[in-house]
Amino acid sequence: MKTALITGGAARIGAQIARTLHENNFKIIIHCNQSLEKAQLLSGELNSIIKDSSEVISGNLNNIESISNIVNSVDSLDLLVNNASVFYPKSVKSSEIDDWNDVINVNLRAPFFLSKGLSKKLSVRNGSIINIIDIHADRPLKNHAVYNISKAGLKMMTQTLAKELAPNIRVNGVSPGSILWPEASAEISEAEKKLMLERIALNRQGSPQDIADTVLFLANSDYITGQIINIDGGRTLNQ
Ligand SMILES: NC(=O)c1ccc[n+]([C@@H]2O[C@H](COP(=O)([O-])OP(=O)(O)OC[C@H]3O[C@@H](n4cnc5c(N)ncnc54)[C@H](OP(=O)(O)O)[C@@H]3O)[C@@H](O)[C@H]2O)c1
């Protein structure tokens, strides 16, 4: 079995990526921060299907030491999926230095230093990296200033790493459109949801499975590197 590390893999899109890769013969290292219980439950579920096929690593990706700990605790790796992300509304005017540090550290700095730190281990296995970006890396989502900037950076990082880490490591990105409504602090109204759905050519949200299937496709596509695939139901046609 190959081994995949998925950041933010305990819930939502990350958990679906974990399940799908596991169904397709990957051992899964589920990284989590606050969702330790969910991560352990998912890991237990995967281990009950195939013995010793999953483990959990926790760590706050805002913290550079946690990134070193994660890098050091992985023995061998075929696939890194940088999925963890911070998302909440903040306009340019209301963004403070703490917002900048939190969002940039988790969404941009962490994928860079995880990729860099794990590149030797990935290289010996001819592995790959998949960054989960956002269609708003190209056109900004209003009131999400630092988030947009972080995802635009992640898109450029995907191309930069693809160039520099070749030929042994492939690096690609998946840019979701609207897949799952945000939770907690980023929650949006029913009227806003309706407006967003009307702008999608297919008139509906995608599913976490749509993202997971694309991650699997890229993980198995030996001659694709430096590419970013939008999974957005045609949302970008109307942007
Ligand atoms: N949902 C969508 O429709 C949509 C649309 C466009 C792009 N995307 C992108 O797709 C990916 C997955 O989306 P999602 O909605 O499933 O994401 P999410 O639920 O907002 O976040 C995924 C995970 O990120 C982890 N995370 C947040 N802050 C962290 C920190 N400081 N340290 C470590 N982990 C941290 C959390 O792990 P814990 O719970 O363990 O703390 C969380 O479960 C993200 O990159 C997102 O930007 C999603």
DSSP 162-218: HHHHTTT-EEEEEEE-S-S---GGG---HHHHHHHHHTSTTSS---HHHHHHHHHHH
- Say how far apart CA 99 and CA 120 lie, in whole Å: 32
Q: Is 83 in the pocket of ligand 1 (CB under 6 A)?
A: yes
Q: Per-domain residue ranges for the chain?
A: 2-231
Q: How far does the centroid of ligand 1 lie from the alpha carbon of residue 106, in Å?
A: 10
One CATH from 3.30.300.10, 3.40.50.720, 3.90.850.10, 2.40.10.120 for 2-231 = 3.40.50.720
Contact status, residue 92 vs residue 70, Cβ threshold 8 Å: no
Looking at ligand 1, which atom is closest to the CA of residue 151?
Answer: 47
Looking at ligand 1, which atom is closest to the CA of residue 84?
Answer: 24
Task: Provide the pLDDT for residue 184.
Answer: 75
Q: How far does the centroid of ligand 1 lie from the alpha carbon of residue 82, in Å?
A: 10
pLDDT digits (tens, 9 = 90+) for 35-55: 999 999 999 999 999 999 999
| Rg, the chain, Cα only | 17
Predicted TM-score of the model (pTM):
0.98
Q: How far does the centroid of ligand 1 lie from the alpha carbon of residue 25, in Å?
A: 24
Which runs of E-coded beta strand occur in the chain? Answer: 2-6, 26-32, 54-58, 79-82, 128-132, 170-176, 228-231
Q: How far does the centroid of ligand 1 lie from the alpha carbon of residue 123, in Å?
A: 26
Could you say which residues of the chain have pLDDT below 70? 185-186
Looking at ligand 1, which atom is closest to the CA of residue 132?
Answer: 45
Task: Provide the pLDDT for residue 185.
Answer: 65
If you take atom 18 of ligand 1, which residue's CA is the nearest one?
Answer: 85
Q: Is 232 in the pocket of ligand 1 (CB under 6 A)?
A: no
Q: How far does the centroid of ligand 1 lie from the alpha carbon of residue 73, in Å?
A: 22
Q: Is 107 in the pocket of ligand 1 (CB under 6 A)?
A: no
Task: Choose the catalytic residue: 31, 107, 147, 178.
Answer: 147
Contact status, residue 169 vs residue 126, Cβ threshold 8 Å: yes
Sheet of 54-58, strand order: 54-58, 26-32, 2-6, 79-82, 128-132, 170-176, 228-231
Looking at ligand 1, which atom is closest to the CA of residue 105?
Answer: 31
Q: Is 150 in the pocket of ligand 1 (CB under 6 A)?
A: no
The length of the chain in residues reads 239
Contact status, residue 174 vs residue 229, Cβ threshold 8 Å: yes
223 is catalytic: no
Task: Provide the pLDDT for residue 220.
Answer: 98
Q: Pick from 5, 87, 132, 183 the residue to mutate for probing ligand 1's pocket: most ligand atoms within 8 Å of its CB.
A: 87
